[in-house]
Structure 1
Amino acid sequence: MKQDTIGSKVLAFLAGNLLDPTPFNYRFGYLYLNRTSKVIVEETDTYIDSGMRMTQEAVAEIMQKFAQASEDPAERIAARDEALDLFLDAAGELARETQRQAGDVGRDIAEESQVIREGAEGEDLTSAIGRIVDRAAQAERELANSSNRIDRLQRDLEEARNKALVDELTGIANRRAARTTIQDLETRKVRYCIAIIDVDHFKSINDTYGHTVGDRALKLVATALEESLAPWPVARWGGEEFLVIAEIPDPARMVEKVQAAKDDLAFRKLRLRETDEPMNPITFSAGVAGCSSTSEQTLRRADNALYKAKQSGRNTVLIAPETGRVGDA
């Protein structure tokens, strides 16, 4: 299918469903007409086969399902960002629509009131009062409908925002949420420390027991870290790495707590769910750093300390000094 042809067909598809030719909708139409995504094709065909017109809400829902089904993290993040933009646009348009409705009601009631003030009597007076009552009742219904739509948009927006900041596998904060937290600390000029934690020999867990067990192991580590390091927030930084952020100025104090969390995890007696056979202990290595002049420098120093910890034999927590060589905790 030639590019100019598919472009015309996408625009025709959008026009046929009264959808605005926005980048979000164009991408949806392009993926559907190219039969690129099974999720998009099946969901959209269901609407079309039932004779229903595609609505903007339906497109957003389908694209969200497409994002959730995608194995590409970047694809999921991009689709979530688009959904957030869509919800914000819809909320803005709804607010403007409500304002227009309020203005129309005011004008209609003002016109009928003028008729009464000019001395309407008998049936004319009764009719004018009836029209005011009817218009007020209609306005109340429209306002209730708008209020329900706003509530629904708020719920959808909150859900989309939460999903954009949560790691799907472990249920804890993701990399984006962690960066947002760090940015907020720096904006408020709060001193902080971070720890980058890496599960030791994670590949061997996947190779020995399979990826399903590997996923369960990551969930276990996430839960264990949240329990041991509370109230400090823990985020999945990527792969088998986790990031911990502490609003404290002393990295040595953070090292102590991360070390205790490491020991607590290593002492757990783990068994394979399917066979009840014992599993090797899960350990991790970590690098800790106090905040530098920029978040990137802080992250780099913590990552360098983590690298040294892994080089030194793993199952170790190292602290990144302000200058000089990385030292053992």
Structure 2
Amino acid sequence: MAGARAVRVTSGGDPAGDLYERIGDFLRDQRLSPDPANYAFAHHLFTTPGGPLARAVHALTDGGVRLTQRDIETLGCELRSADQEAPAKQAQGLVAQTQMHVEGFADIVTAMRAETAGFGRDLAASAAAMRSAGASDTNSTTIEEVARITGSMLERVRSAESQLESATREATELREKLEEARDNARRDPLTDLPNRRAFEEAFAAQMGKGEVCVAVCDVDFFKSVNDRFGHAVGDRVLKAIGEALTQACAGHLVARYGGEEFAVLFTGCDLGKAQATLDAARASVAIKRYRLRESDAPLGEITFSAGLTDLREDERYQTAFHRADRLLYAAKTAGRNCLHVG
């Protein structure tokens, strides 16, 4: 059965070759074209045989049923959504590690304080004994005891310094990883643009600091692109739109807000200038003629619609964004490939 063959495990002397053959067999059995998206799907299937994708494929193909291209695209979308959660989970893990390091520092400092207090008590006791015996009666035993206490304390201090140095080095490395993870958690993995979280944080930081405008942009008829050409092509279209917006709106924040929706935060310019900039971006996208990389076949016209507004005095982020979103909807209703301002 196709489902059984999809999860078979081979044993040979060449693991890479075995994997390649299994992927080829799978694509042939399912009558799928060997394009990059399907190959990547099969590669993930066989390299994580106990994962959720393998279980989903087994359920769909049980009884000899073949996967359709739509099944591949749907399951692939679920995989991409799961992958997008990875940066946030990584950041959470690093935060936990940071907390452990902070607690480790506290333990080292507490131990050093206890050692220092003990050292002080021992020295005080020795000094009291020397005073009570009188300077002339101070014997070598008392001096040896002071030397022993001092030597022991020095050894403990060196050990603590070594622990602190190691902990400091690990904390520095962890801080760098945490900064990287935080950046990844605020960045869209497909387009490498800031994501919704980063956009909302930047918007909040700009409130009360001068002129601010916000735009919401949405790719027109994007679902039909995915339906006709697949999600791999749809992803490339999203990246192209993101690059076009970034270039046209240089100096302002462009983010992928979610799905086929982008947001632009204009700072330090009035509504008229923001409108001219965004409309130029819309026009530059509309005149391009996109083609399939594999066959050079045309995709047809790719356009986006947008709503643009400015942030009014004492206005909250949600109010301004929702107004821009309503203007976007009006642009869609008006025929798409246009910009509405309000």
TM-score class, shorter-chain normalisation, is 0.5 to 0.7
> Which residue does 2:16 correspond to in 1?
none
Alignment CA distance shift 1:84-1:78 (3 Å): same
Alignment of 1:161-172 (within 5 A): 161-172=182-193
**Contact 1:91-1:150 within 8 A present in 2 as well:** yes
Cα deviations across residues 290-316 of structure 1 (Å, max 9, x unaligned)? Answer: 013221111111111111111122111
> Which residue does 1:255 correspond to in 2?
275
Equivalent residues, number: 255
> Is 1:197 matched with 2:217?
yes
Letter in 2 for 1:268: K
**Contact 2:275-2:341 within 8 A present in 1 as well:** yes
Alignment CA distance shift 1:90-1:281 (3 Å): farther
Alignment CA distance shift 1:258-1:98 (3 Å): farther
1:142 equivalent among 144, 163, 174: 163
Alignment CA distance shift 1:172-1:284 (3 Å): same
Structure of larger gyration radius: 2
Shift of 1:79: 4.0
Cα deviations across residues 139-191 of structure 1 (Å, max 9, x unaligned)? Answer: 111101221232233133223322221112211111111111112222x4543
SS class of match (1:128): helix
Question: What is the rounded CA distance, in whole Å, between the counterparts of 1:77 and 1:141 in structure 2?
Answer: 33
2:339 equivalent among 314, 317, 321: 317
**Contact 2:304-2:336 within 8 A present in 1 as well:** yes
> Which residue does 1:308 correspond to in 2?
330
Alignment CA distance shift 1:133-1:165 (3 Å): same
> Which residue does 1:175 correspond to in 2?
196
> Is 1:110 matched with 2:120?
yes
Alignment CA distance shift 1:294-1:139 (3 Å): same
**Contact 1:194-1:243 within 8 A present in 2 as well:** yes
Letter in 2 for 1:262: R
1:220 equivalent among 240, 243, 247: 240
SS class of match (1:71): helix
What TM-score results when the alignment is normalised by the length of structure 2? 0.65
Alignment CA distance shift 1:113-1:144 (3 Å): farther
Alignment CA distance shift 1:163-1:126 (3 Å): same
SS class of match (1:298): helix
SS class of match (2:340): strand
Letter in 1 for 2:241: V
Q: Which deviates more from structure 2 when the two are superposed, residues 273-282 or residues 135-144?
A: 273-282
Question: What is the rounded CA distance, in whole Å, between the counterparts of 1:132 and 1:231 in structure 2?
Answer: 59
> Which residue does 1:86 correspond to in 2?
96
Alignment CA distance shift 1:150-1:98 (3 Å): farther
Q: Bigger relative contact order, structure 1 or 2, given CA contacts below 8 A and separation 6+?
A: 2
Alignment CA distance shift 1:101-1:223 (3 Å): farther
SS class of match (2:298): coil
Shift of 1:199: 0.9
**Contact 1:91-1:153 within 8 A present in 2 as well:** no
Q: Which deviates more from structure 2 when the two are superposed, residues 213-222 or residues 95-104?
A: 95-104
Question: What is the rounded CA distance, in whole Å, between the counterparts of 1:285 and 1:70 in structure 2?
Answer: 25
Shift of 1:235: 0.9
Alignment CA distance shift 1:132-1:87 (3 Å): closer
> Is 1:289 matched with 2:289?
no
What TM-score results when the alignment is normalised by the length of structure 1? 0.67
**Contact 2:87-2:184 within 8 A present in 1 as well:** no
2:260 equivalent among 224, 236, 240: 240
- Percentage of identical aligned residues: 32
> Which residue does 1:207 correspond to in 2?
227
**Contact 2:307-2:325 within 8 A present in 1 as well:** yes
Letter in 2 for 1:318: H
Question: What is the rounded CA distance, in whole Å, between the counterparts of 1:70 and 1:263 in structure 2?
Answer: 30
Shift of 1:230: 1.4
Alignment CA distance shift 1:240-1:269 (3 Å): same
Cα deviations across residues 100-126 of structure 1 (Å, max 9, x unaligned)? Answer: 144234335535655775667664454
Alignment CA distance shift 1:92-1:124 (3 Å): closer
**Contact 1:266-1:282 within 8 A present in 2 as well:** yes
SS class of match (2:299): coil
> Is 1:99 matched with 2:121?
no
